[in-house]
Amino acid sequence: MFKKSLALVLMLALVITAGLVGCGPKAPAAPTEEAKEPIVLNFNLGADPKTIDPQLNSAHDGGNVINQTFEGLMREVGGKIVEAAAEKVDVSEDGLVYTFHLRDAKWSDGQPVKAQDFEYAWKRALDPATASEYAFQLYYIKGGQAAFEGTGKLEDVGVKVIDDKTLEVTLEAPTAYFLELTSFYTYMPVRKDMVEKDPEGWAKNPETAVSNGPFKLSEYAMGDKIVLVKNPEYWNAANVKLDQINMAMIVEESTMLTAYESGEMDIIDNMPTQEIPRLQAEDPTFYNFPQIGTYYYIFNNAKAPTDNKLVRKALTLAVDRKALVEKVTKGGQLPATGFTPPALKDADGNEFQKVAGDYGIDPNAANVEEAKKLLAEAGYPDGKGFPEIEVIYNTNEGNKAIAEAVQEMWKQNLGINVKLTNQEWAVFQDTRHNGNFSVARAGWLGDYADPMTMLDLWTSYSGNNDSQWKSKEYDKLIESSKLATGKERFDLLYQAQNMMMEEMIVCPLYYYTDQMMIQDYVKGWERTLLGHMYFGNVTAVEKK
């Protein structure tokens, strides 16, 4: 009874109060800001990245995530290298010493970005215990290669912290593209305290993945999606208009295209090859960018029968590259006659790829007679006695179509059978890196606009040299070219490519173009010269 009476009294009090409030004059309503609709971009990343750790990543998909969440000393914007984490750069007259003056900037958890964070990141990559596949990108720094190979010490590497905001870097030799290198993910800073909490998984955990770029990690659902949100601590956050990036992991190209055409995806970077001619002709949101990169098959140079140079040459010459790009890939790709792609120039301004020559590879047809002759010399006339070998590729409709076409060419032109096996991206990378293959699909996209970006891949100490081919002579050519300049330098690079192509350690198939579809309502997107997307300048994603 008491509870019921008390409840009744309270109800009457509320009614009377409400009536009294209602009888008085109304105060003018305070002005309210209309809630701003968040700007969200839906981008298909493709496969689940093996890693998004700047010092461990060596793949394009991981790079597209890192390019949003981290920032190096420099960044490519509008096709030019500009100051990013660094506010100013001083270069010594001899081109050997770079002094970077850092701007006032913070990590996504509010802590200041310091010169020590760059020093830690770079030395972490050079530490053999880290096993960074891209450590060789830091060999330009004095003592970098020696530290990675264990013949030198990390403390002797030419990276010196002057104070919290000043970093001094000494190079082994003048390097015209060094500033460009500092925009690359291996050179991006990471926080020691976060890495040490979980060296293997820190970058995929929103609680530890502190970053210094325009966006930060909000969610990571393996095999499903990555969600990035605007980083309010970013030094230029006031000019970042995009609030969120949803990165899907759709592998199947037909599913990607369906999602794009239904408006679920705003940007995709793969589509079914059979649809490319239609899209090129009818869809103004289809883009076909030239790209510094080569799609190729890599031979295991330490495993029979591909340990035989004659076999490798026969397999390479038996491929009809013109048919491959016109009937299979259909994306404007160019038949590859060497490893280094077009557009890279030598000291005299000549295109490196043209001067290097074609190494007996006909871009317009398979050289069947020469291929059969070489296979016979290797002990397999008309393919007799040749063991069935396996070609592995990462799961992708385009890779499958290419593999099936090459499989048929080798059967028709050489009389040999090969087995095709697909693997998920992360598994595939480990299989290839560990040498558990005979022939494997591969592709290399340049990290800077110089032939060295393609050629130092094949040094015996490169973390990405999966060919199992090692040559001290080749190593010496590359190392000598890093200490040379002008024509002398390019003569050494020509010799290096001639050597690896004479050995035919890989089978180049075509030079990349990059097909993308970008909805016309996405404003301000950028694609770097090397093919990475940057969304820090996106101003609008307004669906009609």
pLDDT in tens, 509-544: 999 998 999 999 999 999 988 888 999 999 999 886
* pLDDT confidence band for 15 (50 / 70 / 90): very low
pLDDT digits (tens, 9 = 90+) for 464-506: 999 999 999 999 999 999 888 899 999 999 999 999 999 999 9
pLDDT digits (tens, 9 = 90+) for 212-258: 999 999 999 999 999 999 999 999 999 999 999 999 999 999 999 99
pLDDT digits (tens, 9 = 90+) for 96-134: 999 999 999 999 999 999 999 999 999 999 999 999 999
pLDDT digits (tens, 9 = 90+) for 375-400: 999 999 999 999 999 999 999 999 99
Mean pLDDT of the chain: 92
Positive or negative: CA dihedral 314, 320, 324, 325:
positive
Exposure string (b/e) for 101-126, b if CB count within 10 Å is 16 or more?
A: bbeebbbbeeeebbbebbbbbbbbbb
Which positions ≥6 away from 89 have C-beta within 8 Å? Answer: 73, 74, 83, 98, 99, 100, 101, 179
pLDDT at 9: 33
CATH among 3.10.420.10, 3.30.70.870, 3.40.109.10, 3.10.105.10 for 288-514: 3.10.105.10
pLDDT at 35: 65
Q: What share of the chain is helix, strand, coil (3-state, %, to 5)?
A: 35, 20, 40
Domain ranges across the chain: 40-253+519-541, 288-514
Examine the pLDDT at 21 and tell me if it is beyond 60.
no
CATH topology of domain 40-253+519-541: Dipeptide-binding Protein; domain 1 (3.90.76)
